[in-house]
Amino acid sequence: MDALHRRFSGVLHYLATALPNGPVYDWIVSRIREEGLPEIQISAEQGHLLSLLVRLMGARNVLEIGTLAGYSTVWLARALPPGGRVITLEANARHAEVARATFERAGVSDRVELRLGPALEALARLDGRVRFDLVFIDADKANNRAYFDWARRHVRGGGLIVVDNVLAGGRVGAAESSAYGQAVQGFNEYVFGECAECSAVIPFYRADRSALDGMLLFLVPEGTERIDP
């Protein structure tokens, strides 16, 4: 536990206990642990934010890249209006199997469509045929730029692109530079360069409280959508 974490342990405990999540979210985390999956789902604080964003926007068509056990998917799906849908992309068959059970348990199977396989291939199949209100990018970070460019061509004006882990678990910034940190910084600069006033970064602790990380919000400005005809 680092000094920052020690300093804020009271606040973290407060956050974890004061803002109720609903039992299904704790159940999903326990499934992640039982199945030995990596505990890299978004935090409950991030889940609350995603849920509010979906509801603020009245988003009906949501795409998620990187499902894991479906923790973030359930936050997104439960915030949808009637008739809304989430498509979620996952390359790992075991993760997908755990996620499908999650969707049954959370009662969102009717609203969630999981597509198993590498996300770039799934996106190629969706190309030009769909448009989304919100895209949440949270898979292999090396492809973030490809995912962002795809989202840029499929999110409506006034829609939102959300990217997890843009502080690379604390590895961005000069003090602890690493190849991964630099790659994430390069991606962030690419997005900020496209439209700084459309971008915001919100720092969050990771769900396992192991590090500080962040979520990037990019608002697609009205009139700048690049939807393929």
Assess 140 for contact with ligand SAH (CB under 6 A).
yes
Assess 188 for contact with ligand DHB (CB under 6 A).
no
Answer for the pair 54, 76: CB distance below 8 angstroms, yes or no. yes
| Least distance in angstroms from the C-beta of 139 to ligand SAH | 4
- Residues in 192-221 that interact with ligand DHB by CB under 6 A: 206
User: Rule CB under 5 A: which residues touch Mg ion?
Assistant: 138, 164-165
Assess 90 for contact with ligand DHB (CB under 6 A).
no
List CB contacts of 217: < 8 A, sequence separation 6 or more. 53, 160, 161, 162, 199, 200, 201, 202
Structure tokens that stand for 104 in this block: 């049954």
- Residues in 107-126 that interact with ligand SAH by CB under 6 A: 118-119
Assess 64 for contact with ligand DHB (CB under 6 A).
no
Assess 138 for contact with ligand DHB (CB under 6 A).
yes
Give first-to-last CA distance, the chain, whole Å: 51
Assess 89 for contact with ligand SAH (CB under 6 A).
yes
List CB contacts of 22: < 8 A, sequence separation 6 or more. none
Structure tokens that stand for 5 in this block: 């974490």
Q: Which residues bind ligand SAH (CB under 6 A)?
A: 40-42, 66-68, 71-72, 89-92, 95, 118-119, 138-140
